[in-house]
Amino acid sequence: QSKLTTVKALQSIGYETVASGDSHNDLAMIRASKAGFLFKSTDKIKADNPDLPAFEDYSELLAAIKKVIL
């Protein structure tokens, strides 16, 4: 819950957020952000959230983030 609270607090003062995570506790934060990604997540979480781009290595994640912010 605190991750989502942090995202909402940043958004409330005008920031756009991009988030990544690997677990169930990250999903609300990821979904609340302008862009969100799964990173080194389990097959179950990836299967349950097929709309979220999933990456296994840092260079792929970084490339996706750069597409969103640049």
* Number of folded domains that form the chain: 1
Q: Is 14 left (phi over 0), alpha (psi -120 to 50) or beta?
A: left
- Residue 15 or residue 1, greater confidence: 15
pTM for this predicted structure: 0.91
pLDDT for 2 equals: 93
Query: Residue 28 sits in which domain range?
Result: 2-69
**Cβ neighbours of residue 27 closer than 8 Å, sequence gap 6 or more:** 21, 45, 49
pLDDT, one tens digit per residue, over 17-70 is: 999 999 999 999 999 999 999 999 999 999 999 999 999 999 999 999 999 999
CATH number reported for the structural domain that contains residue 50 in this entry: 3.40.50.1000
Looking at residue 38, what is its pLDDT?
99
User: Tokens representing 43?
Assistant: 């097959």
